[in-house]
């Protein structure tokens, strides 16, 4: 089949919050949004707890406090120029959503309601503050619907269920992408001046995760394969409260409303780990505390979970402020949170690292922040870096909207100035060869490998050896295992040979992305001999600002090996301090 060719000023890969916000801000240009999912099925739609902004609707609040909390939460690895933008522009972003019709929950006097969330404080750490703006526990759903409506109103062109397989560069400029139409197996070449990667996270590298099946790190891997480094991949956040064994998220909003954690002995163990903020300490701290309790045999009934107790909140609060999670718990566990505590364990949740960008969303490719013309990234697949070593709850929704908008605006500027570069010769060849190999393999010793088996092994090993706690030994082991899985991936063959909705083939492509992302994660984690934020090395338990107050960059060299380099952290207002809660 011949590929179909398209020409646009700008192509956005991803129809989640970041991609749609950029698209709204590019309205009027020739712009196409490509999404492997129908856009409103993107993971943004599952965000529960809220979006952080210092509106001060319930009590006094200031963007400086929000900025401080974000920097401290990041264990001082966030770039403070970007964090300042995040905290300042959060406020206007929430009002913009309100004006577009987003149905926020309300205070009795009609203002946008706000609740407490982990690590968000008043007066630089004194006590928890009400900062998270929410629409019950369906905030992300409402954001996604609101943005999609704006896109439809502005006649944004969508290509739904298109899986992007390759990023096209011509010399040192961006020239477009190649995508597979999942409905019929047709290859499409999108020739464009600018491309935004907004493909979301990569939580599926782990076994227990809150992330949807589609979160396979595609944009990160596409960038890596095009020679772009990935920044700070060693920092992967585990959210403390996933449903036991399933990983499905119970929002931190549940603790923001007053929910408490108990171990198997009925102790409020957070009193020992974070005496001021208790159950509202940042996620890295609570996840480690839970793991420590579990390792000491303090799980409930000796099992690998602790209890999240909401019972004292009463039926009305639980059913009106946390309706969706109440449903999840009833459906998946057969437990009623109004009368019983919920069994929870930490679940892989959020990639702090990603494709490095500046504050305009432009991808930067080295230690000197050299811009790659025409390539942009925003949202969870990007690293700007506002979250540093650990993200605070509610800050991702802010990030995707604030930096999605900035990326959209700068792309608008760029496509007005830049010329369309020529396409590389035979632009779809690499994508075609990849699909042919996965459909027709194996070519080695003749034994085909299965996608599901390889993916299971990857997820189990990553969970065991590169999650909440890590050591040099565990990381060295998992590095060898991931490399071996990469070799075996060359022998993968899918069973479905058709072209119509071949989800077998889609998963095979996604496994390749997962392996690339896992490889960089492990490489960077093995190199970083300190503990900071979500990266906790049992063999190096202290933070080491002298040697390690820097961002990592992991790049694939021409020989296929991974190479690490580092770049400095931007510090403006807040000098690194000891992190106590």
Ligand X SMILES: Cc1cc2nc3c(=O)[nH]c(=O)nc-3n(C[C@H](O)[C@H](O)[C@H](O)COP(=O)(O)OP(=O)(O)OC[C@H]3O[C@@H](n4cnc5c(N)ncnc54)[C@H](O)[C@@H]3O)c2cc1C
One symbol per residue from 139 to 158: x for binding ligand X (CB under 6 A), - otherwise; what is it? Answer: xx------------------
Of the pair 251, 263, the CB lying nearest ligand X is at 251
Q: Of 10, 53, 55, 163, which lies in the binding site for ligand X, with binding defined by CB under 6 A?
A: 163
Q: Which of residues 215-254 bind ligand X (CB under 6 A)?
A: 218, 249, 251
Does 408 participate in binding ligand X (rule CB under 6 A)? no
Q: Which helix (H) or strand (E) holds 345?
A: strand 342-351
Nearest distance in Å: CB 14, ligand X? 3
Nearest distance in Å: CB 263, ligand X? 24
Q: Of 10, 11, 12, 18, which lies in the binding site for ligand X, with binding defined by CB under 6 A?
A: 18
Are 315 and 338 in contact by the 8 Å Cβ rule? The answer is yes
Task: Return d(Cα 263, Cα 5) in angstroms, integer.
Answer: 58
Of the pair 324, 545, the CB lying nearest ligand X is at 324
Q: Could you report how far apart the first and last alpha carbons of the chain are, in Å?
A: 60
Q: Of 25, 29, 35, 502, which lies in the binding site for ligand X, with binding defined by CB under 6 A?
A: 35
Does 121 participate in binding ligand X (rule CB under 6 A)? no
Q: DSSP for 514-575?
A: HHHHHHHHHHHHHH--S-BTTB-BTTB-S--HHHH-EEEEEEE-TTS-EEEEEEEPP-SS--
Task: Return d(Cα 193, Cα 381) in angstroms, integer.
Answer: 21
Q: Of 25, 29, 42, 531, which lies in the binding site for ligand X, with binding defined by CB under 6 A?
A: 42
Q: DSSP for 47-111?
A: --S-EE----SSS---HHHHHHHHHHHTTT-S-HHHHHHHHHHHHHHHHHHHHTT----B-TTSS
Nearest distance in Å: CB 515, ligand X? 15
Nearest distance in Å: CB 267, ligand X? 28
Q: Of 80, 121, 357, 394, which lies in the binding site for ligand X, with binding defined by CB under 6 A?
A: 394
Question: Both tokens of residue 311?
Answer: 């019972």
Q: Of 22, 23, 24, 50, which lies in the binding site for ligand X, with binding defined by CB under 6 A?
A: 50
- Contacts for 331 with CB less than 8 Å, ≥ 6 apart: none
Does 49 participate in binding ligand X (rule CB under 6 A)? yes
Catalytic residue check, 406: no
Upstream peptide bond of 385 is cis (omega within 30 degrees of 0): yes
Task: Return d(Cα 235, Cα 386) in angstroms, integer.
Answer: 13
Q: Of 25, 46, 385, 459, which lies in the binding site for ligand X, with binding defined by CB under 6 A?
A: 46
Location of structure tokens 């999404």: 35
Q: Of 8, 9, 14, 502, which lies in the binding site for ligand X, with binding defined by CB under 6 A?
A: 14
Local structure of 505: helix, strand or coil: helix
Does 300 participate in binding ligand X (rule CB under 6 A)? no
Strands 236-243 and 371-377, by their bridges, are unpaired
Does 164 participate in binding ligand X (rule CB under 6 A)? yes
Are 106 and 113 in contact by the 8 Å Cβ rule? The answer is yes
Are 246 and 343 in contact by the 8 Å Cβ rule? The answer is no
Nearest distance in Å: CB 137, ligand X? 8
Nearest distance in Å: CB 470, ligand X? 22
Does 406 participate in binding ligand X (rule CB under 6 A)? no
Of the pair 25, 263, the CB lying nearest ligand X is at 25
Among the listed ranges 16-24, 123-131, 301-309, 516-524, the one in contact with ligand X (CB under 6 A) is 16-24
Q: Of 70, 121, 211, 474, which lies in the binding site for ligand X, with binding defined by CB under 6 A?
A: 211
Among the listed ranges 40-48, 181-189, 325-333, 462-470, the one in contact with ligand X (CB under 6 A) is 40-48
Task: Return d(Cα 536, Cα 532) in angstroms, integer.
Answer: 6
Length of the chain: 581
Instruction: Pick the closest to residue 378 from 348, 349, 411, 347 (CA basis).
Output: 411
Q: Which of residues 325-384 bind ligand X (CB under 6 A)?
A: 350, 379-381
Local structure of 221: helix, strand or coil: helix
Q: Which of 115, 283, 362, 528 is catalytic?
A: 283
Nearest distance in Å: CB 145, ligand X? 13
Q: Of 25, 29, 44, 287, which lies in the binding site for ligand X, with binding defined by CB under 6 A?
A: 44
Are 19 and 404 in contact by the 8 Å Cβ rule? The answer is yes
Does 13 participate in binding ligand X (rule CB under 6 A)? yes
Does 199 participate in binding ligand X (rule CB under 6 A)? yes
Q: Of 6, 11, 15, 261, which lies in the binding site for ligand X, with binding defined by CB under 6 A?
A: 15
Does 257 participate in binding ligand X (rule CB under 6 A)? no
- By CB under 6 A, the count of residues binding ligand X is 46
Local structure of 255: helix, strand or coil: helix
Q: Which helix (H) or strand (E) holds 355?
A: strand 355-356
Nearest distance in Å: CB 203, ligand X? 7
Provide the binding-site residues for ligand X, judged by CB under 6 A.
13-19, 34-37, 39, 42-44, 46-51, 139-140, 162-164, 198-201, 210-211, 214, 218, 249, 251, 350, 379-381, 393-397, 400
Give catalytic residue positions.
283
């Amino acid at each position: 089949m011949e590929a179909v060719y398209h020409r646009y000023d700008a192509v956005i890969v991803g129809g989640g919050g970041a991609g749609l916000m950029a698209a709204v801000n590019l309205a009027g240009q020739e712009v196409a949004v490509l999404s492997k999912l129908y856009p409103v099925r993107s993971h943004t739609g599952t965000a529960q707890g809220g979006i952080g902004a210092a509106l001060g609707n319930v009590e006094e609040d200031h963007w400086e406090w929000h900025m401080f909390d974000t920097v401290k939460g990041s264990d001082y690895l966030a770039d403070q120029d970007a964090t300042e933008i995040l905290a300042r522009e959060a406020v206007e972003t929430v009002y913009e959503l309100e004006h577009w019709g987003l149905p926020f929950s309300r205070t009795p006097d009609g203002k946008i309601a706000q609740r407490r969330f982990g690590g968000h404080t008043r007066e630089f750490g004194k006590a928890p503050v009400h900062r998270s703006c929410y629409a019950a526990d369906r905030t992300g759903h409402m954001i996604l619907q609101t943005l999609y409506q704006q896109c439809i109103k502005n006649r944004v062109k969508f290509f739904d269920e298109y899986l992007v397989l390759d990023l096209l560069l011509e010399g040192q400029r961006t020239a477009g992408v190649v995508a597979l139409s999942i409905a019929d197996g047709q290859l499409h070449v999108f020739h464009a001046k600018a491309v935004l990667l907004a493909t979301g996270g990569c939580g599926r590298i782990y076994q227990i995760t809150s992330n949807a099946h589609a979160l396979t790190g595609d944009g990160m891997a596409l960038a890596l394969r095009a020679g772009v480094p990935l920044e700070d991949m060693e920092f992967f956040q585990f959210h403390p409260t996933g449903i036991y064994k399933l990983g499905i998220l119970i929002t931190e909003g549940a603790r923001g409303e007053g929910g408490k954690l108990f171990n198997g002995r009925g102790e409020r163990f957070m009193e020992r780990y974070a005496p001021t903020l208790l159950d509202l300490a940042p996620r890295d701290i609570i996840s480690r505390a839970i793991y420590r309790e579990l390792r000491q045999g303090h799980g409930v009934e000796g099992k690998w979970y602790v209890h999240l107790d909401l019972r004292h909140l009463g039926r009305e609060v639980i059913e009106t402020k946390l309706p969706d999670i109440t449903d999840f718990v009833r459906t998946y566990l057969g437990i009623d949170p109004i009368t019983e505590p919920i069994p929870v364990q930490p679940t892989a949740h959020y990639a702090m690292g990603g494709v490095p960008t500046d504050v305009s969303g432009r991808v930067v490719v080295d230690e000197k922040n050299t811009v790659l013309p025409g390539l942009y990234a925003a949202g969870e697949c990007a690293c700007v870096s506002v979250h540093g070593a650990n993200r605070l709850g509610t800050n991702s929704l802010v990030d995707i909207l604030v930096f999605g908008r900035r990326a959209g605006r700068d792309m608008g500027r760029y496509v007005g100035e830049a010329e369309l570069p020529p396409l590389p010769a035979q632009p779809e060849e690499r994508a075609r060869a990849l699909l042919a190999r996965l459909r027709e393999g194996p070519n080695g010793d003749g034994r085909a490998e299965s996608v599901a088996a390889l993916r299971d092994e990857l997820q189990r090993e990553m969970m065991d050896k590169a999650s909440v706690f890590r050591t040099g030994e565990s990381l060295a082991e998992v590095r060898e295992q991931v490399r071996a899985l990469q070799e075996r991936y060359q022998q993968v063959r899918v069973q479905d040979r058709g072209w119509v909705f071949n989800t077998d083939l889609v998963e095979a492509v996604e496994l390749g992305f997962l392996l690339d992302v896992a490889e960089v994660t492990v490489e960077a984690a093995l190199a970083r001999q300190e503990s900071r934020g979500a990266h906790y090395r049992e063999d190096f338990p202290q933070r080491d600002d002298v040697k390690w107050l820097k961002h990592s960059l992991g790049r694939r060299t021409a020989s296929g090996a991974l190479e690490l380099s580092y770049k400095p952290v931007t510090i403006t207002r807040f000098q690194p301090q000891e992190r106590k809660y």
